[in-house]
Amino acid sequence: MVYLGGPRKRRGGAGPKGIYLHDPPPGYHPPRPRIPLRDRQRMARRDWELMRVITVVLILLVIALAVMFSIVIATHG
């Protein structure tokens, strides 16, 4: 059974019950549970640290290539 919407709490015995389907429609994915704030902050910090490391490595790589090109140009002439 798949719950698609409608009121969650029923006051009294009357009123709409919501929409329930026996089989889910094509492409239906159940809602994901919410991620706690602490875990979201931890993931954001880990992503920030990873981007920082990648940036430093790329800057060092560009500097190394520039030094190699300048050495090749200086010794070629």
| DSSP class of 23 | S
Kindly report whether the global pTM for this prediction surpasses the value 0.75.
no
Helix boundaries (H) for 1-77: 37-76
pLDDT of 77 above 80 = no
Residue type, 24: P
pLDDT of residue 8: 60
* Mean pLDDT across 51-75: 97
Computed from CA positions of residues 38, 39, 40, 45, in that sequence, does the dihedral angle turn out positive or negative? positive
In terms of residues, how long is the chain?
77
pLDDT of residue 33: 84
pLDDT tens per residue, range 3-47: 666 656 656 555 556 677 777 778 877 778 899 999 999 999 999
